[in-house]
Structure 1
Amino acid sequence: MVQEFLSFFRVEPRMLLWLVGITFTVIIVFQYVEFPYGNALFSLFSTGKFPTSSSLSFQTAEPPSKSQIFDDLNLTISNQFNHTGGHAIEIANNTSNSEGKDANPENDSVKEPAREYGSSVGNSVQKSDNGSAEQKVREPEQTNFNITKDLTNNSAEESVTTRSEHSAPSPSSAMTPIDSPPHINPPTKVNSNITTSDLSNTSNIMSENSAISNVPEDRKHSHTPIPEVTTISEMNNLLLQSRALYRSTMPRWSSSADPELLWVRSEIENAPIVKNDPGLYAPLYSNVSMFKRSYELMEETLKVYVYKEGARPILHSPFLRGIYASEGWFMKLMEADKRFVTKDPEKAHLFYLPFSSRMLEEKLYERDSHSYQNLIQFLHNYVDTIAGKYHYWNRTGGADHFLVACHDWAPAETRERLDKCIKALCNADLKEGFVFGKDVSLPETYVTNMQNPTRDLGGKPPSKKSPLAFFAGKMHGSVRPILLQHWENKDPDMKIFGRLAKSKNNRNYVQYMKSSKYCICAKGYEVNSPRVVEAIFYECVPVIISDNFVPPFFEVLNWESFAVFVLEKDIPNLKNILLSIPNKRYLRMQMRVKKVQQHFLWHTKPVKYDIFHMILHSIWYNRVFTLRARSMN
C-alpha cells in the first residue's frame, strides 16, 4: 500500500504540469480570438458583472416586463426581414452598393433601408403640387435585432419630403424627435372625445415614455438621397417575395376572425380558373382568378369596425374636393356603409381609424411654427384613447387596423405608433417607408364636383388623338424642370408646358388630355400625382415618370398592360421611347385604359369594382396574406 501510494505521487506532478500547460494555452487562445466580454478569464468565470476595464461596453439592464418581452420579440421577428417601421423584407438579390460606396444613378437595383421607432429630426421648405409649402423631414435610421431595444441608437438619416397648403417649416429649424415605446400603456383617464382644443398645447404635452434628444448641428440639414431606383418589373418581384416572407405581428391572443381569414387565404390561393367574366378583362390583372375569388370573399365575409371616438373636424370629417379627396371620399362612404361595417367589434376582421390627414394639417399645423410635432402627438393621443378603451389595438399592436391618408405628410405623421397598421397612402414611395405586402397605394384623385365626380369622363377616339404626348403643371421638384428643359417648345408632337393659363373648369387642360395619345405623369415633390388617375379618366395612356412610385392597386393590377413607365434619367429620350411603341400595342393599351377605368371612379353610391371597393379590397387582400394567427386550441 505504501509503495502504491508513493508511486501515485511520483506520477501526479507530471499530470499537474500538463494540466497547467493546457489551461494557459486555452486562455491564450481565448484572448487571441477576443471574446465579447473583453477578458478571457472573466468570460469563462464571470456572469458579466465584473468588467475589467473602462473600455468594456457590456452593461446590465433591468429585466423587461412581460409586455415588453412580447413586443420586443415581435419586433425582432419582423426585423429579420429588415424593412421600414420594423416590418419588411430583405431582398438579397436586389440590393446594390453598400453604404459609403458611390452609387451609380443608373442602377435599377433595390436597397431597402431599415427604420425603427424614430421621429422627424430636420426639415426644410419647398413648394407643393398645389402651390403650397413643402416640408422635408429627415428621420434617423435604426435596425434592431435584439430583444432589448435601444431606441436612441440611430445610425443614419433618411429624408421624407412632404407638402402643405400652408407655409411649412423653414430650413433653419429642427424638429425634436419623440421615440415612443412599441407597446402602449393605456392612459389612466380615457378621453373618448378628442377635440382640437384638447391639443392646443400638444407641443408641451409629451408622453411620459417619450425620449427627447437633441440633433447635432451638422446633421440637421444633411440630405443623403437614396439613389437606387426600383423598376416596375422589380416591384413585381418584391411583391411576390413579400407574399412569401412578410407576416404581421403575432396576435397576443386568438380571435374568431383569424381562422376565417386563414380559410379565405386558402380559398384565394386555390381559386378556380376564370375563363370568361363580363365584368373583368383578364389582361388587366396579375391573376384575374385570384382577384375575382378574393373580391367575392370580401363581399361575403369582410366586417369592418369603425371607431366612433374623436370629434370633428380631424376625425369623421371628410374633405371631398381637391387633390386630397381620396381619403375624404373613402371616409364618407365607409362610415355610411351598411354591407361591410359592423357594430360588433368582436366580429371585425379590420378596424378603421377615420382621421383625415388633410384636416389634421389644416387645423393643427401652426403657420411658421417650423414643426408639425403636434400633428404627430395628436395621432399618438388618439391611439392612446383607442388602446385604453378597447383591447383590439393591443391584441395585434394595430396590425389589423388601417388608415387612409392622401396628404403628403401622412407617411411621416403615421410613423412610430401607427407603423404596424395597414396604411393606404397616396405618397406610396418605396424610399419613404412604403411596405410591400402590408401597405396600399391610394389613388390620388382630383375631384372638382362633389355632386358628380365622374363629370367629363371619357376622351377622343384614338384616330382623333393628334399630339403624341402632353404635360402641363407647376415646376415642383426636380423632374418637371428637366422635362421642360428637354421638351418645352422643342417638338410639335410633344405638348409639354408649364402651368397653363386659367380657363373655366380647367377646360384647356382637360381638352389636351382628352386629345393626346400619351399623358405624361411626372412627379412633383412627391412620387404621387393626380395625373395618373386623370389620364385614365380621360382615356389617355399614362406615362409615369416617378422613380420608386408604387402605382395604385398594385396587388392585383398588371400596370404594364395599360401604362408606360419611364425612368427619370431617360427623360431626354422620352419621344424615342414613345415612338418605339408599335401602333398596334398603343391601341391595345388605350383600349385597356378604358376597361380599367371602372376601378378609378368615385360614385355617390358605391358600385361593384369601383374605386371605393378597390381600396377596401387592397386593404383586405393585404391583411389576408400577412395574417399570423395563434393556435385556437
Structure 2
Amino acid sequence: MLPLFASVLLGLFSNFKKGQCLPLNHPKQMAHPSMLLHRHLASLPSNTFFFLPATLALFTTLFILFYIFTTPSLFISHQHKHNLKYPLGPSQSSPLTPILPSNGSFHLSAKFPFNDVFGGEDGTVNPVSSRSHFGSKGNSMNDTDVFRDGDIFLEDYQQMNRSFKIYVYPHRRDDPFAHAFLPVDFEPGGNYASESYFKKALMNSHFITEDPRKADLFFLPFSIARLRHDRRVGGGGIQSFIRDYISNISTKYPYWNRTGGADHFYVACHSIGRSAMAKAEEVKLNAIQIVCSSSYFLPGYVAHKDASLPQVWPRTDDPPTITTSERKKLAFFAGAINSPVREKLVKFWRNDSEIYAHFGRLKTPYADELLGSKFCLHVKGFEVNTARIADSLYYGCVPIILANYYDLPFADILNWKSFSIAVVTVDIPLLKKILRGITSDEYSSLRGHVLKHQ
C-alpha cells in the first residue's frame, strides 16, 4: 500500500493542480474564499508506522499542498497544467469533526462551527447533543466504505507520482542548526515523531528536485520540535528564529517573494508550532502549515489552506490480535487532566463500572487497557490532537473522538464515520447511553473498518 507520506502529499498535489500562487490576503484571494479547499487525503498501511505507514502521512500532506498550490484563484505566477478528477464539491472539502446529535441521523456540518451554536472549545456553553453514526432505527446510512472514493484517489496519486516536484532549501551538514534542518538519521520516536517521519520520508522520495525552476512547491525544512529542545533557541526563541530564517531565504532566493510564500510549506507536530509564526505573519497567512494541532477554533490554523497531520506514537511490531468477546470494558481513557473536557469526563465517569476514565499513573499496562476495551476515548487536552486515535487503531479499539473543532487528518478521502464516533463534548454525561445504543452489528462494522487501518 502507499506510504503515509503519500496521503499528505496527495492532498497538496490536488490543491496545486488548479493554478498559481497568491498570498492569502491578496484581493483576488479574498474574493474567492473556496480556493484553498484541500482534498485527497488518505491513509494506507505499512509495517513501519503505527496504524498507517510512516511515509503515508508525507504523501498525503504533500498532495494537499499540491492541490492548494494549483487552485486558480490562489495562483498567478507560474502555470502548471494538471487534469485531475475530484469526488467532492467545494462545500464538502475538509469537513469538520463529525457531530453526533442524540436524536437523529449522523451529519457533518458544512459550516464553520460558530461559538453561538456549539459554545467554546470545551463545548459547555450550549446544549448541542450528540448522536450515533447510525439513524434512530439503527440504519447505517450507507457509510460502509473506508474511503470516500478510492478510485479517484489512486488516479490522482498516479498523476502526482509522475509530475509533482518539491524543492527543499539546502543546508550543509556543518550548519550550526543542521540538526533542525536535515532529516534525522535514526528511526524517530516519541509523541511528536510524525514531524520527523514526514521530513525523512520526503527527503528520500523521488518528489525532491534540486532544480528550483522545476519545483511546484518549496519546503521550509526547520523542525519546530528540535528547535524547541535546542538551548540556543528554546520555546521562547523560536518566533525570532523563524522570522530571521524567512528573512534570510527571501533575501538569498527569489522564490518566497514572488508568491509571498503561498507556494511554501512547513511541518510541525508540537503545539508550539501554532505560535512559532507570531513574528513572521506572512508564514501563518500565506504558507501552507502541515500541523497536528489542526483546530478550527484557534486563529493559528487557517482552515482549507492548512492541512492536518496525524499524531502517532511509532510502533514497528505487528498489531496485536484480540477478539471482541475478550474486550470486557465498554470504554477507556487515561491521561493528564489538562483541559476542561478531560476534567468533565473524569468528573462524570471516574467511578463507573463500564467506562474507565483514569488520570495519573495506571496500575496496569496502557496497552492492556486498550486491548480490553471496545471503545477508546480520544479526549482533547491542551490541543485537539493526541496520539490516542493512532493508539486506538493499532490496538483494534474503536476511537471515540471528544474534541470539538478537530479538522481530522485525511478527512477528504477517509470516511471517518465508518471506523470512529465523534461526540460533542457537551454530551459527555450521555456517553454511556450513546455507546450502549450502538448495536452489535454496528459495532462489528466499525471495528472491521478499524482493522483495515492497522
Distance 1:412 1:386, change over 3 A: same
1:334 corresponds to: 202
Find the aligned partners of 1:317 and 1:268 in 2 and give their Cα distance.
33
Distance 1:71 1:331, change over 3 A: closer
Secondary structure of the structure 2 residue equivalent to 1:77: helix
Distance 1:429 1:73, change over 3 A: closer
Which ranges in structure 1 are unaligned for 5 or more consecutive residues? 1-69, 90-238, 271-280, 448-452, 598-633
**1:450-489 alignment, distance < 5 Å:** 453-455=315-317, 457-489=319-351
Find the aligned partners of 1:333 and 1:502 in 2 and give their Cα distance.
37
TM-superposition CA deviations, 1:519-556 (whole Å, max 9, x none): 00001111111101111111110000001011111121
Secondary structure of the structure 1 residue equivalent to 2:245: helix
Contact kept in structure 1, 2:23 and 2:29, CA below 8 Å: no
2:27 corresponds to: 76
Which ranges in structure 2 are unaligned for 5 or more consecutive residues? 1-20, 38-63, 89-142
Instruction: Name the TM-score, length of structure 2 as normaliser.
Output: 0.68
Contact kept in structure 1, 2:153 and 2:413, CA below 8 Å: yes
TM-superposition CA deviations, 1:336-357 (whole Å, max 9, x none): 22x2211111112221111111
TM-superposition CA deviations, 1:457-486 (whole Å, max 9, x none): 234122222111011111111111111110
Please report how far the alpha carbon of residue 329 of structure 1 lies from its aligned counterpart in structure 2 after TM superposition.
Answer: 1.2
1:418 corresponds to: 283
Find the aligned partners of 1:400 and 1:73 in 2 and give their Cα distance.
11
Secondary structure of the structure 2 residue equivalent to 1:323: coil
Find the aligned partners of 2:397 and 2:443 in 1 and give their Cα distance.
10
Whether 1:348 aligns to 2:215 is: yes
Find the aligned partners of 2:231 and 2:245 in 1 and give their Cα distance.
14
Among 535, 549, 570, which residue is 2:392 paired with? 535
Secondary structure of the structure 1 residue equivalent to 2:434: helix
Please report how far the alpha carbon of residue 595 of structure 1 lies from its aligned counterpart in structure 2 after TM superposition.
Answer: 0.9
Among 344, 362, 374, which residue is 2:229 paired with? 362
1:429 corresponds to: 295
Find the aligned partners of 1:363 and 1:541 in 2 and give their Cα distance.
38
1:568 corresponds to: 425
Whether 1:497 aligns to 2:362 is: no
**1:103-252 alignment, distance < 5 Å:** 249-251=74-76
Find the aligned partners of 1:588 and 1:259 in 2 and give their Cα distance.
42
Among 368, 375, 382, which residue is 2:245 paired with? 382
Secondary structure of the structure 1 residue equivalent to 2:400: strand
1:294 corresponds to: 156
Whether 1:312 aligns to 2:178 is: yes
Aligned partner letter, 2:346? L
TM-superposition CA deviations, 1:138-180 (whole Å, max 9, x none): xxxxxxxxxxxxxxxxxxxxxxxxxxxxxxxxxxxxxxxxxxx
Please report how far the alpha carbon of residue 250 of structure 1 lies from its aligned counterpart in structure 2 after TM superposition.
Answer: 3.2
Find the aligned partners of 1:361 and 1:529 in 2 and give their Cα distance.
19
Distance 1:574 1:268, change over 3 A: closer
CA RMSD, aligned part only? 3.0
Please report how far the alpha carbon of residue 502 of structure 1 lies from its aligned counterpart in structure 2 after TM superposition.
Answer: 6.6
Secondary structure of the structure 1 residue equivalent to 2:404: coil
Secondary structure of the structure 2 residue equivalent to 1:500: coil
Aligned partner letter, 2:294? A
1:259 corresponds to: 80
Distance 1:421 1:586, change over 3 A: same
2:55 corresponds to: none
1:608 corresponds to: none
Distance 1:528 1:247, change over 3 A: farther
Instruction: Name the TM-score, length of structure 1 as normaliser.
Output: 0.50
Distance 1:81 1:430, change over 3 A: farther
Contact kept in structure 2, 1:282 and 1:288, CA below 8 Å: no
Aligned partner letter, 1:479? V
TM-superposition CA deviations, 1:181-240 (whole Å, max 9, x none): xxxxxxxxxxxxxxxxxxxxxxxxxxxxxxxxxxxxxxxxxxxxxxxxxxxxxxxxxx9x
Please report how far the alpha carbon of residue 75 of structure 1 lies from its aligned counterpart in structure 2 after TM superposition.
Answer: 2.5
Contact kept in structure 2, 1:520 and 1:542, CA below 8 Å: yes
Distance 1:443 1:330, change over 3 A: same
2:449 corresponds to: 592
Find the aligned partners of 2:272 and 2:437 in 1 and give their Cα distance.
38
How many residues matched?
Answer: 340
2:95 corresponds to: none
Please report how far the alpha carbon of residue 300 of structure 1 lies from its aligned counterpart in structure 2 after TM superposition.
Answer: 1.9
Distance 1:479 1:73, change over 3 A: closer
TM-superposition CA deviations, 1:65-109 (whole Å, max 9, x none): xxxxx98995233334679xxx979xxxxxxxxxxxxxxxxxxxx
2:56 corresponds to: none
Secondary structure of the structure 1 residue equivalent to 2:179: coil
Contact kept in structure 1, 2:332 and 2:377, CA below 8 Å: yes
Among 434, 437, 440, which residue is 1:583 paired with? 440
1:322 corresponds to: 190
Find the aligned partners of 2:434 and 2:397 in 1 and give their Cα distance.
17
Aligned partner letter, 1:471? F
Aligned partner letter, 1:500? R
Secondary structure of the structure 2 residue equivalent to 1:414: coil
1:34 corresponds to: none
Find the aligned partners of 1:478 and 1:282 in 2 and give their Cα distance.
34
Find the aligned partners of 1:410 and 1:513 in 2 and give their Cα distance.
30
Aligned partner letter, 1:250? F
Among 236, 260, 273, which residue is 1:397 paired with? 260
Find the aligned partners of 1:323 and 1:71 in 2 and give their Cα distance.
34
Among 368, 373, 384, which residue is 1:511 paired with? 368
Find the aligned partners of 2:338 and 2:252 in 1 and give their Cα distance.
43
Please report how far the alpha carbon of residue 361 of structure 1 lies from its aligned counterpart in structure 2 after TM superposition.
Answer: 1.6
**1:50-65 alignment, distance < 5 Å:** none
Contact kept in structure 1, 2:145 and 2:418, CA below 8 Å: yes
Percent identity (aligned): 32
Structure number with bigger Rg: 1
Aligned partner letter, 1:315? F
Secondary structure of the structure 1 residue equivalent to 2:209: coil
Find the aligned partners of 2:73 and 2:298 in 1 and give their Cα distance.
19
Secondary structure of the structure 2 residue equivalent to 1:283: coil
Aligned partner letter, 1:332? K
Contact kept in structure 1, 2:227 and 2:233, CA below 8 Å: no
1:613 corresponds to: none
Secondary structure of the structure 2 residue equivalent to 1:588: helix
Distance 1:73 1:82, change over 3 A: closer
Among 376, 379, 385, which residue is 1:522 paired with? 379
Find the aligned partners of 2:222 and 2:26 in 1 and give their Cα distance.
26
Find the aligned partners of 2:366 and 2:277 in 1 and give their Cα distance.
34
Find the aligned partners of 1:322 and 1:548 in 2 and give their Cα distance.
25
Secondary structure of the structure 1 residue equivalent to 2:329: coil
Distance 1:301 1:530, change over 3 A: same
Please report how far the alpha carbon of residue 441 of structure 1 lies from its aligned counterpart in structure 2 after TM superposition.
Answer: 0.7
Secondary structure of the structure 2 residue equivalent to 1:481: helix
Secondary structure of the structure 1 residue equivalent to 2:194: helix
Contact kept in structure 2, 1:303 and 1:347, CA below 8 Å: yes
Find the aligned partners of 1:385 and 1:344 in 2 and give their Cα distance.
19
Find the aligned partners of 1:395 and 1:352 in 2 and give their Cα distance.
15
Greater relative contact order, per chain length (Cα 8 Å cut-off, separation 6+):
2
Contact kept in structure 1, 2:292 and 2:308, CA below 8 Å: yes
Aligned partner letter, 2:178? R
Find the aligned partners of 1:502 and 1:73 in 2 and give their Cα distance.
50
Bigger mean CA offset, 524-533 vs 284-293: 284-293
